[in-house]
Amino acid sequence: MDTVFAWDGGFVTGLDSVDEQHHALINLFNELNAALLSPAGSDETLLADIYARLLSYAEYHFREEEGMMMRFRLDERHVEGHRMAHQQFVDQVRGQGNRRAYMGNTKAGTALIDFLTSWLGLHILGIDQSMARQMALIRRGLSPGEAYERERNSHDHSAQVLIKMVGKLYSALSEQNAQLIDANLHLEERVARRTRELEDANARLNTLARTDALLDIANRAHFNEWLEQICALARRAQRPVGLVMIDVDCFKRYNDHYGHQQGDACLQAVARAVKSCLRRGTDLVARYGGEELVAVLPDTDAEGAASIARKMVDAVRAVQMPHADSMAGPWVTISAGVCSQVPNSGEHGASGSAALITQADAALYEAKRQGRDRCVAAGPD
């Protein structure tokens, strides 16, 4: 295993339990480093497990050290700074390592290892060894305050200043790093939100491209695509497809009498009434052209298709929209032609959809010939 912390006698504190815990931390650093550099370095589960154990052990070690300081009643000036250093470490590691994407990045993971080892080395040489020396002085009979002052004044001043200044520099860099990680996290969140917004916009555009803007039902292109798919599936399963062709009776007369704006409102009301007769998600009502609608009824035999067509005729009549210039009655009405059959790929194109349209259209023509306001079913082939 590659080692990332070169231990020597200079890092010994003289406190057996503390030195033992430092060694355990170093072993975890090395394990994390080896995992990052291995072929399995992108294994998020493995990295998260090592990271969780490392953080848990570090928190345990810090509790042990702080408990030891309390037992020796070390001067609060030392204890406060020591606790702050521990908390800084925990916050920094949580900020970096808790993000799985960060941990899975080899370069970022190496930066984390560099932070861990550098922090621990600086921490041992500075505040941990200072703690150990103060405890030794207290054992000799000095008070905690006297031990703190002796420690502060008795060691090489330039070395102490250097360690202190490096510590401050390291704290500043750690804070900047934490801010950078936070900024990156928020950037990722903004990118993810923008991506979702674009996906939603594309979905809306796709819906608009398949929907008739006036009637809020499928348009002709969507109908053509859907009928082809339904016929292909039905042909393989040998199941019937029902088709209802619908025409608003005397609609040109309606437009001439009431105006085009009212004509649009009329078509919208007819579309709502026709659509209300369908119950299945696979059924589709579409605008075929002008005042013509069409309904696709998958897995529906002739009797079922005719029954639905009759309901559509009745539903439009029940709206009771006045039509003063109709030849079919006092209200707006529709005529419907119905066809149902198992699509046959041997006739009228690959899917058999053309045969359905032809027969339903012929039945619609017959319904108009018979006086409108009715449905007529196509006869058997």
Rounded Cα gap, residues 68 and 51, in angstroms: 26
Q: What is the mean pLDDT of residues 32-38?
A: 82
Residue 1 is predicted with a pLDDT of 47
Task: Give the start-to-end residue ranges of the domains of the chain.
Answer: 9-200, 220-377
Least confident of 144-148, 199-203, 319-323: 199-203
| Interacting residues of 68 by C-beta distance below 8 A, sequence separation 6+ | 15, 17, 18, 131, 135
Does the structure show a pLDDT above 60 at 157?
no
- Look up the CATH number of domain 220-377: 3.30.70.270
Q: What CATH code would you report for 9-200?
A: 1.20.120.50
Instruction: Note the Cα 230 to chain centre separation in Å.
Output: 31
pLDDT at 348: 46
pLDDT bucket at 268, cuts 50 / 70 / 90: very high
- pLDDT at residue 19 greater than cutoff 90: yes
Helices (H), 38-156: 44-71, 76-97, 100-103, 106-123, 129-139, 144-154
Tell if the pTM clears 0.85, that is, is over it.
no
Q: pLDDT of 177-227, one tens digit each?
A: 666 666 666 776 778 888 887 877 777 667 667 899 899 999 999 999 999
Percent of the chain residues topping a pLDDT of 70: 82
In the predicted model, what is the mean pLDDT of residues 73-96?
88
Q: What's the distance, Cα to Cα, between the start and end of the chain in Å?
A: 80
Residue ranges of E strands in 190-333: 241-248, 284-289, 292-298
Domains 9-200 and 220-377 share a fold: no
The pLDDT tens digits for 306-315 are 999 999 999 9
Q: What whole-number distance in Å separates Cα of residue 77 and Cα of residue 127?
A: 12
Cα distances from 353 to residues 33, 150, 344, 377, in angstroms, run 64, 97, 8, 17
In the numeric block, the tokens 């590691």 are attached to: 93
Q: Mean pLDDT across the chain, nearest whole number?
A: 86
| Cα-based distances in Å from 30 to 54, 104, 110, 315 | 11, 16, 11, 76
Q: Which range (23-32, 151-160, 371-380) has the least confidence?
A: 151-160
